[in-house]
Structure 1
């Protein structure tokens, strides 16, 4: 068992700090949003990672600044001296990965590396801060998942890469993966990703299944009843209420 996954009951994960909580609208992936989730009682936070042109790792979802900040430009093409001046919703600075690790030392982080240039710098931060045991690293890119595994070794909890998810879903007899968990949508386009068979096979292999991004209480109950191990949500208030109702809030 990875220390990251050592948790009694379903894992409740605040997606970008709870991006759709009424108090957080416009402040996703900010220290303000993360602090709000922690105050609600969340002990798992999800954030995406990008690296600036000079290798500074920031907790931010988009590859561009434009959508949620008062600046424009591609993060990978800009130095930190410029990215650091951007303000989320015009007010909150973009946090560094080190900021999040230091601000919330008792919280576990799910980290999604969004671009190839972020793998090496993110690995360096996690190594230098001694944070390997309190994070799970995932990515849509199978290559990025494999590279971060090589960089940080078997102690690191990682999500399955896309190719590994597909093999477990469609050709499970071929699967061999050091991944700790599957972090998947219930449905992707027209494809139903989460099925009873996939969940059963994952559990048989000792792998957890976390489903994103679930913001509807009825869906939360249904997935928890089905036996998923964690839910990732933008509506941190609603998931908290559901788990309290079920007697499963930590």
Structure 2
């Protein structure tokens, strides 16, 4: 990793991780993330969804991973197959041979995360570790495929992300879990709070339990620590505009055409 200039990342010791680059972009600007590949059409976390996102010009994808009973790493959000597929059962209790027969919306197969890395070699991946059994297989996959520059690991569990960072070392890009975000929010109010060193971004909801997370103070505090701020999951154009005006560095959305139109109007699309 090298120290590179970024308009928001000039705090002491700020390090620009290659994951934060926008490959192929012709102008600087915020990162557009296709959340679960663009979940609005009901085909979330499928290769078909990510192909559509890529065709629209997205280069950063968000996905989730679970490990099957035999240790295969599936790109899927829920712990069970029930909500979005034609099958039933907990992924952690099923072998890959059974999980692979499930179809999202009754027509699209569940992909292995390794297959997605291979099919989209230029893409950057934001990966949410949904359960502890997926942690070691994910780190091993990143190491085996030398995908250090292409993957940022996150989780609601700060302990889970911290463990991934310890196992992988400084080449791994990570975001904060809930505890890290809380520490950053408290620091934004001028209160002392511990925050894990080594993260490259804070990936946060705009609000949580009716309380605002992202405001100008939060963004400035993150930037002062050399962190980008990525906000999820924003599907309304007016909210996208307001967040971009605050200076956030990335937006995750299900509504791919909406975010592209907002960024295009601001001369910030790719």
TM-score by length of 1: 0.96
* Contact kept? 2:60, 2:123, Cα under 8 Å: yes
Could you tell me how far 1:194 is from its partner in structure 2? Answer: 1.1
Give the one of 21, 35, 42 matched to 1:6: 21
Q: How does 1:58-207 map to 2 (within 5 A)?
A: 58-171=74-187, 173-176=192-195, 177-207=197-227
- The separation in 2 between residues aligned to 1:191 and 1:214, in whole angstroms, is 16
The answer on 1:208 being equivalent to 2:228 is yes
The residue aligned with 1:233 is 253
TM-superposition CA deviations, 1:82-113 (whole Å, max 9, x none): 00111111111100011110000011000000
- The separation in 1 between residues aligned to 2:225 and 2:194, in whole angstroms, is 10
Could you tell me how far 1:195 is from its partner in structure 2? Answer: 2.2
The answer on 1:17 being equivalent to 2:37 is yes
Could you tell me how far 1:167 is from its partner in structure 2? Answer: 1.0
Could you tell me how far 1:155 is from its partner in structure 2? Answer: 1.0
- The separation in 2 between residues aligned to 1:164 and 1:69, in whole angstroms, is 33
TM-superposition CA deviations, 1:15-46 (whole Å, max 9, x none): 000111xxxx2211000000000000000000
TM-superposition CA deviations, 1:33-78 (whole Å, max 9, x none): 0000000000000001100011100100010001111110000111
Equivalent residues, number: 246
The residue aligned with 2:25 is none
Q: Which runs of 4+ in 1 moved over 4 A?
A: none
**Structure 1: which 5+ runs fail to align?**
none
Q: Which moved more, 1:166-175 or 1:205-214?
A: 166-175
TM-superposition CA deviations, 1:125-150 (whole Å, max 9, x none): 11111111111110001111011101
TM-score by length of 2: 0.89
Could you tell me how far 1:168 is from its partner in structure 2? Answer: 1.2
Give the one of 58, 62, 67 matched to 1:46: 62
- The separation in 2 between residues aligned to 1:169 and 1:27, in whole angstroms, is 34
